[in-house]
Amino acid sequence: MSRELIDKFGRVHTDLRISVTDRCNFRCQYCMPEEGLDWLNRSDLLSFEEIERLSRVLIERAGVTSIRLTGGEPTVRARLSELVKRLAAFDVDLSMTTNGATLDLLATELKSAGLNRINISLDTLQRERFIELTRRDELASVLSGIDAAVDAGFSPVKVNAVLMRGINDDEIVDFLKLGREKGVTIRFIEFMPLDAQGEWSNNRVVTYNEILERASEHFEFEPVKRGSSPAERFAYTDGQGEFGVIASVTEPFCDSCDRIRLTADGQVRNCLFGLDHVDVRALLRGGATDDELVTAVAGEVDRKWAGHAIGQVHFLRPSKSMSQLGG
């Protein structure tokens, strides 16, 4: 059986986000409550063999063309490069999102294993603020990780910064300067209601228009055609790279979203804000056929909503935070 993953609105889903662990080496205040989380037992995590099989099925039978490894923090999963090698054997665009703290040790190994691209999450360039946000004194390590990713040959290297009003919105220009100096692509992300504390409010969102207004005070740039990417892209007119804005709240891109998500414990979700899921771990461990796996995932995709409804009265937060769902 061969089929595309198409939802009820006719949107085709080709981008698979795989969370390889729910654990993290940071304890970021907006991802994780200060007291921490109850981690999954090792036996609850999908094995590399299970991840490889589901990926193969969705690539060969359902038209998946890109895979991104996420977490938690994916680099805390033991022998991660082994999984990268397994997935790199498929004809797929393979990337990873990481906090970058150990990339200076792993970047070359992951590149050699077949990882194509890398995104690094970094919300501040100020050491004391970094400690406050992550509860770790690791800013220097992350900056070294960015350099290591560039040196290993990843291109582009993207640095994702979630902007929060009154927290780090004064660093927009500093981030853009960093991107130009290091030759990496900065992507600003609007603050979404996935924080572990449940304290999100709309007035904390630094909007797409505000970001562009502040950037234009210091740099000249022009829009680049977006395609299916979640980021609106802007190229500097002097040719020194580009930056992007992911306006998930004020300019949602649900109508062009092509993602499905696999959590570390084997739940396939059709959206970060989805309230339901299909348990493919049970199917994998219960002897399901390839056809049955495709049918189950296709059914979950078909249930996808028109949009996430953030800011509307009927919006419901998902039961899991970003660290548990994957980026």
How do residues 152-178 score in pLDDT, each as one tens digit? 999 999 999 999 999 999 999 999 999
| Higher pLDDT among residues 200 and 165, named by residue | 165
Between CA 322 and CA 300 the distance in angstroms is 20
**Beta partners for 223?**
234
Average pLDDT over residues 266-283: 90
Q: Per the domain annotation, does 10 fall within a domain? A: no
Name the CA radius of gyration of the chain, rounded: 19
Q: What is the DSSP letter of 69?
A: E
pLDDT bucket at 200, cuts 50 / 70 / 90? low
Q: Per the domain annotation, does 1 fall within a domain? A: no
Does residue 29 contact residue 56 with C-beta atoms inside 8 Å? no
| Burial of 294 per CB tally in 10 Å (0-12, 13-18, 19+) | buried
Q: Per the domain annotation, does 7 fall within a domain? A: no
Q: Per the domain annotation, does 158 fall within a domain? A: yes
Average pLDDT over residues 42-52: 96
Residue 309 gets the label, from left (phi > 0), alpha (psi -120 to 50) or beta, of left
Total domains present in the chain: 1
CATH assignment at residue 143:
3.20.20.70
Task: Tell me which amino acid residue 52 is.
Answer: E
pLDDT bucket at 304, cuts 50 / 70 / 90? confident
Between CA 222 and CA 78 the distance in angstroms is 42
SS3 content of the chain, % helix, strand, coil (to 5): 35, 20, 45
228-266 pLDDT, tens digit per residue, is 678 899 999 999 999 999 998 888 777 778 999 999 999
Average pLDDT over residues 111-124: 98
Q: Per the domain annotation, does 65 fall within a domain? A: yes
pLDDT bucket at 313, cuts 50 / 70 / 90? very low
Q: What is the DSSP letter of 254?
A: G
Does residue 50 contact residue 266 with C-beta atoms inside 8 Å? yes
The domain in which residue 195 lies consists of: 15-325
Task: Specify the 3-state DSSP secondary structure of 256.
Answer: helix
Q: What is the DSSP letter of 202?
A: G
Write down the mean pLDDT value for the chain: 89
97-110 pLDDT, tens digit per residue, is 999 999 999 999 99
